A and B are shown apart, each in its own frame.
Chain A
Amino acid sequence: MSRQANRGTESKKMSSELFTLTYGALVTQLCKDYENDEDVNKQLDKMGYNIGVRLIEDFLARSNVGRCHDFRETADVIAKVAFKMYLGITPSITNWSPAGDEFSLILENNPLVDFVELPDNHSSLIYSNLLCGVLRGALEMVQMAVDVKFVQDTLKGDGVTEIRMRFIKRIEDNLPAGEE
């Protein structure tokens, strides 16, 4: 029995490393293809968006979560279910705006950046920008327009990684804007 358990955790570790290494190879390649960090950030966001749009289906199928009634519920589901399911971490939710339309996700550790160091000439690179795109794309598919951005980043020397999410509006129409 213990052998099975060992295989399990080892396999999970390898899957996460496969993802982290692949992501790293992707960012490295993008830095080579694009001249400046801003363009790389945009690409990561776009790719993240495309992934998010498809990931949401997988998420809804696997998690059995019902429709969220408000942004607070959404925040909970993102942090406690989605992040746990896909990245194995549970960020904490803080810094709610008084209007209840903005909050922060605090990640003590970000699996994407395991073993990663930012070289000096890439100081404006938002390494994990893919995550912003993923969140944006996924939420758009459930009729929520949001703005997502990194506010703090451990790669840049901050103590934690902080993602700020802002609710813009509910999308009434079924056609997502800017589909590519």
Chain B
Amino acid sequence: FVALFLLLHNEMVTGVYKSQEQGEVENGRCITKLENMGFRVGQGLIERFTKDTARFKDELDIMKFIYKDFWTTVFKKQIDNLRTNHQGIYVLQGNKFRLLTQMSSGKQYLDHAPKYLAFTCGLIRGGLSNLGIKSIVTAEVSAMPTCKFQVIIQTM
């Protein structure tokens, strides 16, 4: 299933971009489309995944769940690093992020990396949203295939 998912994800990214024209605005729209798809999927996944688990104690508990169980199950690998400033900002770092390992590691591909991370950002945001947490999730790639996801919790 994972192999299928990776290929499907690749196709989706390519497909979304093909159907739009070139340009900065369009690029933003494509990223939003992908992020929104990820969001819906994340919501659905978390709903099914947490049907049987007990409620979480606090925010950190939830983040740990995302970083350990949710992440490992989805990407088959533990996230390498989780940092937080204990004030609502979490950074998850993944070395050899699966969705990126399919692309060559080269500077010229850095520009395209965000397209491949948009879906996952949405996935995290959707998952958190269904757990009652509103957030902003962004991703950054400084060197392929390592990437950092930054989750900013928005307090009401």
Contact = CB atoms under 8 A, between A and B. Distances in A.
Contacts of B110: none
Interface size class of B (residues with CB under 8 A): 20 to 34
A96 interface: no
Given A12-B1, A47-B15, A22 B8 contact: yes
Interface stretch (A23-31, A98-106, A154-162, A170-178): A23-31
Secondary structure dominating the interface of A: helix
A25 B37 contact: yes
Contacts of B15: 43, 47
Q: Is the interface of B mostly helix, strand, loop or mixed?
A: helix
A141 B140 CA distance: 36
Contacts of A19: 1, 4-5, 8
A120 interface: no
Contacts of B2: 15
B143 interface: no
A22 B37 contact: yes
B53 to A, nearest CB: 11
Given A11-B73, A22-B37, A26-B12, A17 B44 contact: yes
A117 interface: no
B37 A29 contact: yes
A22 B145 CA distance: 22
Interface of A: 10-12, 14-19, 21-26, 28-29, 33, 43, 47, 50-51, 54-55, 58, 86-88, 130
Interface of B: 1-5, 7-9, 11-12, 14-16, 19, 33, 37-38, 40-41, 44-45, 48-49, 72-74, 76, 119
